[in-house]
Amino acid sequence: MRSAWTIPDLVTASSGAAPRHGCGQTMRQERESAALLFPDQFLWGTATASHQVEGNNTNNDWWEWEQKGRILDGSRSGLACDHYRLYREDFDLLAALHQNAHRLSLEWSRIEPTPGFFDPDAIAHYRDVLEYLRRLGIEPVVTLHHFTNPRWLSAKGGWETAEVVDAFGRYVARAVDAFGDLVRYWVTINEPVVYATKGYFEAVWPPGKRSLRRLTRVLHNMILGHARAARMIREHSPRTDVQIGVAHHLRVFDPYRPILPFDHFVARTGEALFNRAVLLSMLDGHFQFPFGRGAIPEGQDTLDFIGLNYYSRDMATFDLRHPRSYFGSFFAHPDRPKTAAGWEIYPEGIYRVLKFLARFNKPILITENGVADERDELRPAFLITHLQQIHRAMQEGVKVQGYLHWSALDNFEWSEGRRLRFGLIHVDYDTLKRTVKPSGELYARICAMGGIGTAMLQQYAGSASFA
């Protein structure tokens, strides 16, 4: 059964400000008795992306893609969650759930609908969005590119063309001029490897091409675009505490048959290409990818923090039927619990990738972590077990600044359409009514407490089949 909380109830309860750690004697007592405490300044929040929640983003390449019937469940983003209109109510809801941070993306196609023209109404809208978050005491984490491109850019070749770097830099400079006083945390690009792989290898995202050479060119340009964005942020931001990062999707790659050297080779190859190549180019300026080895000096030392998106693990095995993927086959472990998306639930994986990232000596912000779960049966234990592993890594010295759960709201899940629900808050797509799920209530207690209680661990971590 879902919670009886709905938007009107919670807006009334929030009174415009989010309660924090120590609000009330009960919460203080729970924090003092919590089994796993996180630092006082830890960021607790959720994440969204503009195209998935705002609705009516008619001027980007994803909208065009949807009209061609390329979505698996036949749906289209359409009005989505109508967050463009309902953002105040949604943010009131997050504040009432004790969240102190929220990651959102700017929609480039709204801000710059035609090349070089910046829409004052769109800029005013996003400024109000960010000011409202600040008013509620919620730290905005702003993503500049989250998978969508303006249609005019797509028509010119998108990220395949060298001109995209100048175009992206121009847009970023204008965004920082408009919003820089309100934003400390900037995420330049969301999941560049996923963007390139889905659009230029699997051909299930726009522009629907299959070419390793094009894929490599896109990644090269995204690294340059990130570097240009980092420069623009540093030059245009009025803040002295500005932090620049990238949201990088990391997965664990393990050999399915550990006794076979070829399976180890496939796992190492997957890890090198998916996890390391782009990230290392933003740290040391060297890019190593098929058809694209060499120095990219512009990328060197352009990260103040690393944004981590973690969801799952892939098993890797040698398979002669897959020459395009270096004779590698990647799949979810057949004997482990899986999400509605078919991904393995593997909490220890977030500990493993955090330990990997720790070697780069950069603060880490978990910018996405979540589970596709229609009935909210897996999400409570998913939350507890992943936070447990994050706490474990932090106890071993890994510098984690915060945790932003994916997602705040059920939303349009790209090529999967509306069939996958990642939200802590249920959205009825017919009425747009928001209803907090039990996992959302659980996360609210975690946020308010600043940690995980003993009873939570016993109830969820102790009995979960994937703990």
Q: What percent of the chain has pLDDT over 70?
A: 92
CA atoms of 150 and 158, how far apart (whole Å): 9
Which band of pLDDT confidence, cut at 50, 70 and 90, is reported for residue 19?
very low
**Does the structure show a pLDDT above 50 at 422?**
yes
Asked, as a colleague might, if the bond just before 363 is cis with ω within 30 of 0, I would say no
pTM of the model: 0.94
If you classify domain 7-264+306-315+332-461 with CATH, what class do you get? alpha beta
Q: What is the pLDDT of residue 12?
A: 33
Tokens of 209: 């091409």
Contact status, residue 319 vs residue 269, Cβ threshold 8 Å = no
Give the pLDDT confidence of 72-82 residue by residue, as tens digits.
Answer: 999 999 999 99
Catalytic residue among 112, 139, 368, 413: 368
Query: Is 191 a known active-site residue?
Result: yes
Catalytic residue among 66, 139, 160, 191: 191
First to last CA, the chain: 24
Tokens of 263: 């399976």
Q: What is the pLDDT of residue 27?
A: 62
Count other Cβ atoms within 10 Å, centred on residue 357.
22
Classified as helix, coil or strand, 115 is: coil
Average confidence score pLDDT of the chain: 93
Phi, psi of 102, deg, nearest 5: -150, 130
